[in-house]
Structure 1
Amino acid sequence: MPSSVRPRSALQEALGAAVSCEVAGDPTTLATHSTDASNYRHVPLLVVRPESAEDVTAVLRVCAEHGAPVLPRGAATSIGGQATNEAVILDFTRHLNRVLEIDTDARTARVEPGLVLDRLREQVAAYGLTFGPDPSTHSRCTIGGMIGNNACGSHSVAWGKTVDNVRALEIALRDGTRLEVGPTSPDELESLCAREDSVGQLYRSLRALRDEYLSDIRLGFPKLPRRVSGYNLEYLLPENGFDVAKALVGTEGTCVTILSAVVDLVPSPVSRALVVLGFGSGIDAADAVPALLDLPVLTMEGIEMGLVQALDARKPGEESKLPEGNAWLYLETGGESAAEAVENARRAAERADQVGASVLLVEDPVAQRKLWRIREEGAGLATRLADGSEAWSGWEDAAVPPERLGQYLREFDLLMDEHGRKGVVYGHFGDGCLHVRIDFPLAAPDAKQAYRAFLTDAANLVVAHGGSLSGEHGDGQARAELLPLMFPPRLMTAFAEFKAAFDPGNGMNPGRVVDPAPLDADLRTVIAPPVLPTRSRLALHADGGDLAAASRRCVGVGKCVSAVSVSGGMMCPSYRATGKEEHSTRGRARLLFEMLAGDVITDGWRSTEVRDALDLCLGCKACKSDCPVGVDMASYRTEFLSRHYDRRLRPMAHYTMGALPRWLRLGAPMAKAFNAVAASPLSRVIKRLGGIAAERDLPVLASPTFRSWFTKREAPQGSGGRTPIVLWPDTFTNYLDPQVGRDAVAVLEALGYEVHIPARNVCCGLTWHSTGQLGAARRVLRRSLDVLQPWLERGVPVVGLEPSCTALLRKDGAEVLPDDPRVRMLGESVRTFAEQIGEAGLPEVSSTEDRVITQVHCHQHADLGYDADTRLLDSVAGEVQVLREGCCGLAGNFGFERGHYQVSVEVAEHQLLPALRAARPGTVVHADGFSCRTQIRQLSEHEPAHLASLTARALGCVS
C-alpha cells in the first residue's frame, strides 16, 4: 500500500459511510480481484461495486481525500496488466450495466459502463444493428472496459476499433466532477475554457497541450490501422474536431471514470459466409494478406496448426474441418441475403490460386460457428504448447502495417529462436496485428531477466517495421515502459501532460502508460510463489501432478463469467446462479493460487475462503471442456477437500451421500421399510441428521435391485456364441432405477450381445471421489478392478449407463489410480450405451416418440462426447431438442446437501426448467443421468426416461 494512503480499515469505514453499495475488503474479494488476464498481480486496497453514478462520484471524492488510487474495472480480461493495481477497484460487473437509450435514426445507443457487449448486441439486433468492435471476449467484456482498452476484435477490417465507434462520454474526474465530453467546436471550446471551475481548467490545459504539441502529434504516430499504444492525442487536432471523448478511448482508466457512453451502431449483415484459405505456414499466410485487402470482407483472421491441435485434443471425435495446410486465413463475408454473402465469398475464394492457397467455402452457420471457435478461444488454447509447457502473454498483440506483416513475422521467428522461445501465432492478419503466447520461463530463477530481454528486443523489432507495441490489448504494465522506443520524447511529455490535465494527483490507475511500473515487476509467479507443498494426491496428469501449475492454468480470459450462454457451453452453473466472482472457475482458481501463496489467503489447506467458494462448485466438469485452457475445477475441488478434511470431522453429507453406495447396499434388503419411513414425517429427522436439504424428497429404494433381477432371471435361449459385453451395474441403476438396466439388457440382447454383469458388487467410487475421500475412492475402484480384470484382459467392452460413473471409469480413474495398469485397460474398454449400440448398428425402427427434450449430462458433455447419443436419438425419436447450455442443478449430491437447494433450483432455471415449462403436451423428456432425472421429477410434472428405455420402446423389447 502506498505510504500516502491511510490504513485500509479507515478507508473502508469512510467509503461505507459515503455509499450504500457494497464495499468489500475481505480476503476472498481481494484474492479474486488480485489479477486480470495478465502476468501481473496486485492485491487491491478495496473493491467497491457501485450501483449508481452518485456512488461512483462519492467513491472518487473519498479516495481523493484519503490519497487512495482508483481503478475502474470491467470483466478484467485485460492481458497487459491494466486491470490490476494496488487501488480501490470500482467493479462495474454487477450494476451500472444497462442500455439507457437506443436511437435507431441516429444509429446510436447510450449505455452504462458495466454493460456486456453481447447484451448490447442482443438488444439492438431487433433493429438490424450491431456494435462493430467484437473482441473474442464478447460474451463477458464490458463496454466500459472496451472503451478503456480501445478494444478491436475480428471485424475491425470492416468496422474499426472502439475509438471509431464512440460518439460521446459521460465521465467523472478524480474529484467527482461530472461532465459530458465529445467533439468540441471552436466556439464551444472558447466557452468551456472561460469557465472558472475544474472543467474550465481541464479544457484550458487540453487546448494548451494541443497548441504546444501540434506538429509532434501530427508527425509522431505510426500510420497503421491497429495502433492502440499511447494516448489518442490526434483527436485533439482541429481537423479531428477536438474530440475529447475519442481522445479518452484507450486511456486504460488512467484519466477518468466512465459513467455512460454514446456509441455508434452499424447495420448487421443479414447473412454471412466464410472462406478459409490454407497455407503451408503462417508466414505464407501473412505474405498473402496484401493481395487480399481489396476484397469485400468483414474479417481477415489468421490461425496456425498449434491452435487447431490444441482444440482437437480437447474435443476428440470433433476434429476441425479445415482445408489442407498448416496455417489458415479466415475471410468472412456478409450480405443482405445468403446469396449475396456467398457471392462475395466466392470472389474471395477465387483468389486462392493467386496466393497459392487451398480453399474451403462454408455456407452453413453451424459449421462456421465451429470454425470460429478455434479463433475465438485462441487466447486460452495458446496457453499450453504441444509439449504441455506453459505459454504466457506479455508480447501478444504487436501490430505492423499489413503490407509488412510477412517480413515482420519472419524476423519475429528469428527473434524467438535467438531467445530460445516458442509460441503459437494467430491474430488479425488483415490489420497486421499478431497474437502469440510465449513460453517465458516465469517460474525460473532468471524469469525477470529473460522476460525483460525478450520484450525489449521485440519492441525494437516492431518499431523498426513502423508498428505499434500494442495493436489491441493496450499497454498496461507489460508494454508502457517500452513506449519511449516507439514515441519521440516530446510526444511522451505530451502523454504525461494529457493525464495530468484530467488527473493532476496521479490517482487514477497509476503506473500505467505514464510514469509506468517496470514491466518485470509484480509478475505473479515471482512475487507470489507457493509456500505450501504443491504435489497433488490426484495424478493431475495435465499439469504434471503440480497443483501450483494447475492453479496457473487459469489465465483469466473469463469465459466462465460470460453474461450470456455460450453455444454448447455449460460453464459455470454456480456463477450463473449467484453472479459472484468466487463462484466462477476463474475466481476459484485465483483463490487456490492465493492459498498456495499464503499472503491474502493465510490458512493454507484449512482455508475457509477456499472451502466456501468450492462449496458451491457442482463438480459438473463443464470447465474441463468449455474453458479454453481446460481448467478442471472438479478435480481441484476433490484435491482440496481431501486435504482440508485430513484428520478432521467432515460435513455430515460426506458421511451419508459421500458413502451412498454403502448405505444403499445395506438398506436394499429393507427397501420396503426404508421407503415407508422416507415417506413419513420421520424423513425430516433423517434429512436433518444426514445433512440433506429439507426441501428434497428422499429417493425410493427399488425392490428388487437390478443385480437381483439379473441374477434370478432365465438366460435367453440361444445366447451361446454371441459377442460378450459387461454391463456396469452402477449404484444408481442398481438400487434406485433398475428399469434402466433391464431395458438396456433387453436392447443389447435384441442386438445379439451376450450380456454379463460383474460377479460381485462393484462401484466406481464416484461419491467418495467427489467429496474428497480419496483413500476410500481408491479402495473401492481397486476392488472393482479386481472383479473386472478377467474381462479387461479379454478386451470385453464395459458398457456404462450412468454418465457420471462412466466418465469416472473412462477418465478420472487414471487420476485416482495412476499406477494401476488396469485403469488404462478399463478406460479403453468403457463404452456409453449409445456408443455400444452404434457399434452394433440399430436396425431401422419407427420413431415411437414424436418430440423429445434431451438434458445432456454435464460429465458426458465434458468427458464422453454426445455424438453417438445424438445419432441414436435421431433413430428412435422424431423431433429432438438438445439442451446443451445448462446443468440440471442437482449434480450428484450437490443439490441434496443442506444449504444448496436454492442454488440448485436457480441453476435448473437457466435452461432446463424453462424448456420443460415450454414443452408441448406429449413431449418426452430424456435424461441419462440419475441426478438429472431426479431433479426433473422433483421440480416438474414430467417423468423422464433414459436412452436405454427409449431405445427399448422403439425396438418393442421393454423388459
Structure 2
Amino acid sequence: MTLELMHMPGSGQQTAASPAEALHTAVARLRAEVGGEVDDTVRRRAEYSTDASNYRVVPGVVVAPRDADDVLAAVAVARETGVPLTSRGGGTSIAGNAIGTGIVLDFSRHLNRIEAVDPEARTARVQPGVVLSDLQRAAGKHGLRFGPDPSTHTRATLGGMIGNNACGPHAVAYGKTADNVASLTVVDGTGRQYTAGRGLDPIPGLDALVGSQLALLRTEFGRFARQASGYSLEHLLPEKGAHLARALVGTEGTAAVLLDAEVDLVPVAPARVLVVLGYPDMPAAADAVPALLGHHPLAVEGLDARLVDVVRRHHGSGRVPPLPKGAGWLMIEVGGADTAEALRTGEAIAADAQALDHTVFPAGPAATAMWRIREDGAGLAGRTAEGRQAWPGWEDAAVPPEHLGAYLREFETLMDGYDVTGLPYGHFGDGCIHVRIDLPLEDGGTSRSSGAESGGGEVMRDFLHDAARLVASYGGSLSGEHGDGRARSGLLPLMYSAEALDLMGRFKALFDPDRVLNPGVLVDPRPVDADLRRPAAPSLPLRRGLQLAEDSGDFAKAVHRCTGVGKCRADNSASGGFMCPSYQATHDEKDSTRGRARVLQEMVNGTLVEGGWRAPEVQESLDLCLSCKACASDCPAGVDMAAYKSQALHERYRGRLRPRTHYTLGRLPAWLRLLGRTGRLGPALANALTRVRPLARPLLRLAGIDPRRGVPRFASETFSRGWRREQRVVAGADAPRVVLWADSFSDVLSPSVPQAAARLLGDAGFDVTVPERSACCGLTWISTGQLDGARARLTDLLDVLAPHAEAGHLIVGLEPSCTAVLRSDLLELCGDDPRARQVADATRTLAELLTDHLPQHSTWTPPDLNGVTAVVQPHCHQHAVLGFDADRRLLAAAGVTVRELAGCCGLAGNFGMEQGHYDVSVAVAENSLLPALREAGAETVLLADGFSCRTQAADLAGARGVHLAELLHRKGAGAAEER
C-alpha cells in the first residue's frame, strides 16, 4: 500500500525524500528516541491495519509510548520527516478514524493510568489509554461516574472517546463527551504543547478566525444535540464559553494529540428502573419518543425484534428476558432517590407511552440481560437473518428526535431500493440510529435485485451518498457519535456548505499546517470507497478439514466475521466472559482474538502477510491461542479462533513433519490406549518413572513438555475395563436407558469420575449402559490441527454411539471438552454423515440430565450440601458450547455456596503443557483460579469438571479438584448411609 505523505509549501520539511526513505528515517529515529515499543514487523502492522471499520490501511510502524515524552518524541519525528501520525486507543473506531499509513500510536498499552479522582470537584484526570469501565469503577467508589458510556465501555479508551466525541445511551441525560470535558493537555501538529480549556489564547489567529465567522458558526454548527459530524466549532462561540478543549473533542486526532485529560463526573442515580415498551415496529417506537423526554429519563434506547431474534439464535432463548408484545421496543431507564421513586416514574412513562404493552424491570438480572443485548448490538447485527455479513459505514446517523419516526420509514424505503437489509437499534432519545447493512462487499458488489455486476465499493458509495442526502434533508448528522473517519468524511459536502467546510480546513491549518496528523480524515478526505478491506480479500474455500458450514466453507468469510468491536480485549473480571485468556495475561494486541483475526485476514489478502498458511506471522499469531473456544460464544460476531487455528495447523503441516507435541500430546489418547493394553504393569511403571523427577524431566523434554510440569497419575485399571469385568447393572429394565460415554481422559486418568457418575445416574432412576468398546472423540487431534485423524476417530465414535442415538437413548458426557466435541466439532468434521446430527442432538452433560431429563418415576433430588462452599471453575468449552446454567441450578438446589470463576484455568489441554507456554499458562491461572484458591478456606471444595482444570490446580496450587459427579455422589452416598 502506498504511504501517503502530505506537505505544504514553506513547511521547511525535507520533501525530496521518498515515502519509503522518510519512513525508514522515522523508524530509526523512533527506536533511538522512544522508550516504548517501536515495531515495524509485518505481523504487528497486520494487527493494526484496520480498526472496527470497513477500511484497511497498513501502517508503516506501530509505537506504544510509555509516557508523555515518548508521545512528544513521536510527534516531533512525524513533523520533521513528514510521515503521517495517527492516534489509536482501543481500536474500536467504526468509521476508520484510528488507522493510518505512517506512525500509529497505541495509547492503550501503557498510557492507561487514572492520575486522580477528585470527588469534591467531581473531576478525574486520566491518560488517553484509560478504559472507560476502569474510570467508572474508580469514580463509583465516590458515588460518581463519567456520563457518556458507549456500548464498548469495557475496552473503549477515554482518548478514543475524546477523539470521536462518543456518547452512548446515557448521553440523553449527560450529553456527549465534549460536554463532559474540562481541559485537555495536547501537542499539536506544530509541536506546541499546551493545556486547552476555556479561552482561545493558546492558538495564534484562532480568536480572529472565530470573530470573522460568528454567523456561520451559529447557523451550521451545533444545531441539535447529536450533530457529531465535522468539527464541533460551536464550542468556540463566546456564548458557549469559547471552550477550546470542547472544540478539540471530535477532531479525530487531526488537530492535536492528547497527552492527558481532565473530565467532569456526575452523581450515580441511587436507584434505577428499566421500562420496556412494546410497539408494532421501530418507526412507531420512534414516534413515541418526544412525548417521553419530559420525564427526564437517563436513557432511551430502541431495540428491533430482528436483533432480539439474532440473540436467541446465537445464545439461546434463556439470554432474553420476557418482553412485552411488539416488534420494536423502547428501553427507558429512569432514576430515583430510591427504587419506589424510580418505579413511580417508570409507571408514569408507561402510562404516557401509548404502547402495545410494557414491562418494568428493577435493577437486577433481567435488566442486566437487556443491557447486554444492547451492548452486543454491533457484533450481533453483523449477520443478517439469512447469514449475510452486514457492515458498518452508515451505522450511527442522527436526526432531531421529533423527525426520527419519519426518517426511519424513509430509510427503510431506501434500503429496500438497494435490496439491502439491516437491524436498526440505537439511542432513540437523541435521534441516533445504529444499523449494519448487508452491502455486497464480499461478493464483489453484484446487485441481488438486478444481478448487474458492479464493484462492492461502488454499491456502498452510491448507497452512502443517498443515505447522506436523506439524513441532511431532516437536518440531521451523518454521524451521531462515532465520528466521520474514512466512512463519512467524504460525505460532509452533502451536510455542510462550502463555507463551513472551508472554515473547518482553516481551523485545522492553525493546529496542523503540514497535515501530518491523521490525513485523509475530515479535511481533504479520502473517498468513502477507497481502501476497503473486504473487497480486497479473495475467497478461500476449504478443500479439507472443517466444513465452516455457516460461512459456506469459505475461510475468508469466516475470518471476516471479526468486525473489530474488540470485546476480546475486555477485562474478564469486569465483563464476566472467558474470551481471550492469553490477552488477559499479556495485554498485547497480538494475543487478542481480534489481532489474530487481522493477521489471518491479511494472510487471505496476501499482499502484506505472504506465504499463505505457512507464513511465519500466522504461526506466531496463533501460538498463544489456547483454543479455549470462548470467542465462539463471547464474541458477538461469532468468531471461533479455536476452529481457525485448527484449520491453519491442518493446512500448515499437511504432508509435512509436525512439532513433537503433535505426536505426543496431540495423540495422547492413542498412547493411553496402548498403555492400557499392558494391564496393570504399564501404568505402574509409568507412574514410577514420572514420580522420579531426575528421570521425568528429560522424558518430558523429549516429548516437548515443559519439565516444570507434573505428570498425571495413570489408573491401574480403566473404568471401561472394570465396568465390563463387573458386568454391572444399576437400574431395572423399566428405567430409561442412558449411555455413559467415558472419554479417554475420564476412562484412563480419572476413572473415579465415570464410576461416580454411573452410581449417581443409577440412583436417579436411569438404566446406565456403557458402550461395548471405547472410542475417542479426537479432541487432541482437533486442537493440534490433525483433522484427518480427528475425522477418522469421530467416524469410529459414530459407529459406537450412533446406534444408541438412533434408538432414542441420551448420551451423557463427563469431560466438558470432549462432550463439546460431540455437540460442535463433530458437525464440523462429519456434518455430511446424518448420524452426526443424531449423536449431537442426543448428547447431554451430567447436570443437564439430572435437571431436565429425570425419569418420570424418579424421586431423586440433589443431596443436601448446605454448608459446602465451592470454588467452581467452569471449563472453557462448557462455557462456550454446552452452557453452565444446568450446573448452576443443580448446585443451587443442593444448597452449595458457590464462588464461580470467570476465565480460563490456563492449562487448556496440550497448550499449558508445551514448552514455551508455561509462563503464559501460569499468568492466565493468576487471572482468577490461583487467587481464588489462595483465598479459599481449608474446607472449600474445588469443583472442576475439566481434567485440565483439575490438573492445573494440582500442578500450581497443590489443590485437589473434584468432578460434579464425585461431589454429588459422595455426599449423597454419605447421606444415605446416615439414614
Instruction: Give the match for residue 813 of structure 1.
Output: 826
Q: Does 1:128 align with 2:143?
A: yes
Tell me if structure 2 keeps the 8 A contact 1:400–1:432.
Answer: yes
Instruction: Give the match for residue 917 of structure 1.
Output: 934
Letter in 2 for 1:500: A
Instruction: Give the match for residue 649 of structure 1.
Output: 657
Instruction: Give the match for residue 673 of structure 2.
Output: 665
- Supply the distance in 2 between the matched residues of 1:464 and 1:2 (Cα, whole angstroms): 35
Q: Does 1:525 align with 2:540?
A: no
Q: Does 1:428 align with 2:436?
A: no
Instruction: Give the match for residue 923 of structure 2.
Output: 906
Instruction: Give the match for residue 446 of structure 1.
Output: 455
Query: Which range moves more in the overlay, 230-239 or 428-437?
Result: 230-239
Instruction: Give the match for residue 196 of structure 1.
Output: none
% identical equivalent positions: 50
Match of 2:155 among 140, 157, 167: 140
Tell me if structure 2 keeps the 8 A contact 1:300–1:429.
Answer: yes
Deviation at 1:306, TM superposition (A): 1.6
Letter in 1 for 2:465: T
Q: Does 1:594 align with 2:607?
A: no
Instruction: Give the match for residue 8 of structure 2.
Output: none
- Supply the distance in 2 between the matched residues of 1:87 and 1:357 (Cα, whole angstroms): 54
Instruction: Give the match for residue 240 of structure 1.
Output: 240
Match of 2:554 among 542, 546, 565: 546
Deviation at 1:652, TM superposition (A): 0.8
Tell me if structure 2 keeps the 8 A contact 1:223–1:401.
Answer: no
Letter in 2 for 1:826: V
Per the alignment, do residues 317 and 452 of structure 1 end up closer, same or farther by CA in structure 2, a change over 3 Å counting?
Answer: closer
- Supply the distance in 1 between the matched residues of 2:356 and 2:294 (Cα, whole angstroms): 17
* Offset from partner CA, 1:496-527 (integer Å, 9 cap, x none): 0000000000110001011110001111123x
- Supply the distance in 2 between the matched residues of 1:810 and 1:469 (Cα, whole angstroms): 44
Tell me if structure 2 keeps the 8 A contact 1:769–1:777.
Answer: yes
Q: Does 1:99 align with 2:114?
A: yes
Instruction: Give the match for residue 944 of structure 1.
Output: 961
Tell me if structure 1 keeps the 8 A contact 2:227–2:479.
Answer: yes
* Offset from partner CA, 1:877-911 (integer Å, 9 cap, x none): 4312222x210111111111111111111111111
- Supply the distance in 2 between the matched residues of 1:547 and 1:261 (Cα, whole angstroms): 43
Deviation at 1:616, TM superposition (A): 0.7
Letter in 1 for 2:701: R
Deviation at 1:224, TM superposition (A): 1.6
Deviation at 1:23, TM superposition (A): 0.8
Q: Does 1:856 align with 2:874?
A: yes
* Offset from partner CA, 1:788-844 (integer Å, 9 cap, x none): 232122111111000000010111100011211110010011011111112116326
Instruction: Give the match for residue 898 of structure 2.
Output: 880
- Supply the distance in 2 between the matched residues of 1:564 and 1:786 (Cα, whole angstroms): 40
Instruction: Give the match for residue 263 of structure 2.
Output: 263
Deviation at 1:20, TM superposition (A): 2.1
Deviation at 1:534, TM superposition (A): 5.2
Letter in 2 for 1:557: V
Tell me if structure 1 keeps the 8 A contact 2:669–2:744.
Answer: yes
Match of 1:719 among 732, 743, 764: 732
Tell me if structure 2 keeps the 8 A contact 1:276–1:359.
Answer: yes
Tell me if structure 2 keeps the 8 A contact 1:306–1:382.
Answer: no
- Supply the distance in 2 between the matched residues of 1:467 and 1:623 (Cα, whole angstroms): 37
Within 5 Å, give how 1:414-813 maps onto structure 2. Answer: 414-443=413-442, 444=444, 445-526=454-535, 528-530=536-538, 537-563=545-571, 565-668=573-676, 669=678, 670-680=682-692, 681-716=694-729, 719-813=732-826
SS of residue paired to 1:204: coil
Instruction: Give the match for residue 174 of structure 2.
Output: 159
Within 5 Å, give how 1:161-176 maps onto structure 2. Answer: 161-176=176-191
Question: Aligned pair count?
Answer: 940
Tell me if structure 2 keeps the 8 A contact 1:102–1:110.
Answer: yes
- Supply the distance in 2 between the matched residues of 1:792 and 1:241 (Cα, whole angstroms): 73
Letter in 2 for 1:951: L
- Supply the distance in 2 between the matched residues of 1:150 and 1:844 (Cα, whole angstroms): 54
Instruction: Give the match for residue 889 of structure 2.
Output: 871
Query: Which range moves more in the overlay, 11-20 or 572-581?
Result: 11-20
Q: Structure 1: 5+ residue runs without aligned partners? A: 193-198
What is the TM-score of this pair, normalised by structure 2?
0.94
Instruction: Give the match for residue 377 of structure 1.
Output: 376
- Supply the distance in 2 between the matched residues of 1:718 and 1:814 (Cα, whole angstroms): 32
Tell me if structure 2 keeps the 8 A contact 1:273–1:333.
Answer: yes
Q: Does 1:57 align with 2:92?
A: no
- Supply the distance in 2 between the matched residues of 1:534 and 1:243 (Cα, whole angstroms): 56
- Supply the distance in 2 between the matched residues of 1:433 and 1:328 (Cα, whole angstroms): 15
- Supply the distance in 2 between the matched residues of 1:864 and 1:513 (Cα, whole angstroms): 47
Instruction: Give the match for residue 405 of structure 1.
Output: 404
Letter in 2 for 1:97: N
* Offset from partner CA, 1:836-862 (integer Å, 9 cap, x none): 112116326322652122111111111
- Supply the distance in 2 between the matched residues of 1:301 and 1:625 (Cα, whole angstroms): 25
Instruction: Give the match for residue 336 of structure 1.
Output: 337
- Supply the distance in 2 between the matched residues of 1:471 and 1:590 (Cα, whole angstroms): 27
Deviation at 1:559, TM superposition (A): 0.4
Tell me if structure 1 keeps the 8 A contact 2:547–2:829.
Answer: yes
- Supply the distance in 1 between the matched residues of 2:97 and 2:743 (Cα, whole angstroms): 50
Deviation at 1:718, TM superposition (A): 6.3
Tell me if structure 2 keeps the 8 A contact 1:799–1:836.
Answer: yes
What is the TM-score of this pair, normalised by structure 1?
0.96
- Supply the distance in 2 between the matched residues of 1:416 and 1:566 (Cα, whole angstroms): 38
Deviation at 1:35, TM superposition (A): 0.4
Deviation at 1:750, TM superposition (A): 1.2
Tell me if structure 2 keeps the 8 A contact 1:619–1:891.
Answer: yes
Q: Does 1:118 align with 2:133?
A: yes
Per the alignment, do residues 878 and 718 of structure 1 end up closer, same or farther by CA in structure 2, a change over 3 Å counting?
Answer: closer
Letter in 2 for 1:850: V
- What's the Cα RMSD here? 1.6
Q: Structure 2: 5+ residue runs without aligned partners? A: 6-17, 445-453
- Supply the distance in 2 between the matched residues of 1:787 and 1:428 (Cα, whole angstroms): 54
SS of residue paired to 2:318: coil
Tell me if structure 2 keeps the 8 A contact 1:44–1:86.
Answer: yes
Per the alignment, do residues 535 and 383 of structure 1 end up closer, same or farther by CA in structure 2, a change over 3 Å counting?
Answer: farther
Per the alignment, do residues 564 and 768 of structure 1 end up closer, same or farther by CA in structure 2, a change over 3 Å counting?
Answer: closer
Instruction: Give the match for residue 327 of structure 2.
Output: 326
- Supply the distance in 2 between the matched residues of 1:305 and 1:565 (Cα, whole angstroms): 31
Query: Which range moves more in the overlay, 680-689 or 499-508?
Result: 680-689
Query: Which range moves more in the overlay, 461-470 or 233-242?
Result: 233-242
Tell me if structure 1 keeps the 8 A contact 2:715–2:749.
Answer: yes
Tell me if structure 1 keeps the 8 A contact 2:36–2:70.
Answer: yes
SS of residue paired to 2:767: strand
- Supply the distance in 2 between the matched residues of 1:715 and 1:234 (Cα, whole angstroms): 82
- Supply the distance in 2 between the matched residues of 1:534 and 1:71 (Cα, whole angstroms): 37
Match of 2:970 among 948, 953, 957: 953
Tell me if structure 2 keeps the 8 A contact 1:848–1:953.
Answer: no
Tell me if structure 2 keeps the 8 A contact 1:536–1:546.
Answer: no
Match of 1:831 among 838, 844, 857: 844
Deviation at 1:564, TM superposition (A): 5.5
Deviation at 1:531, TM superposition (A): 7.6
* Offset from partner CA, 1:118-164 (integer Å, 9 cap, x none): 11111111111100010000001111110000000010111000000
Instruction: Give the match for residue 13 of structure 2.
Output: none
Letter in 1 for 2:921: S
- Supply the distance in 1 between the matched residues of 2:500 and 2:459 (Cα, whole angstroms): 29
Deviation at 1:717, TM superposition (A): 7.2
- Supply the distance in 2 between the matched residues of 1:28 and 1:483 (Cα, whole angstroms): 35
- Supply the distance in 1 between the matched residues of 2:543 and 2:108 (Cα, whole angstroms): 35
Tell me if structure 1 keeps the 8 A contact 2:802–2:835.
Answer: yes
Tell me if structure 2 keeps the 8 A contact 1:570–1:887.
Answer: yes
Tell me if structure 1 keeps the 8 A contact 2:872–2:944.
Answer: yes
Instruction: Give the match for residue 108 of structure 1.
Output: 123
Query: Which range moves more in the overlay, 643-652 or 874-883?
Result: 874-883
Instruction: Give the match for residue 348 of structure 1.
Output: 349
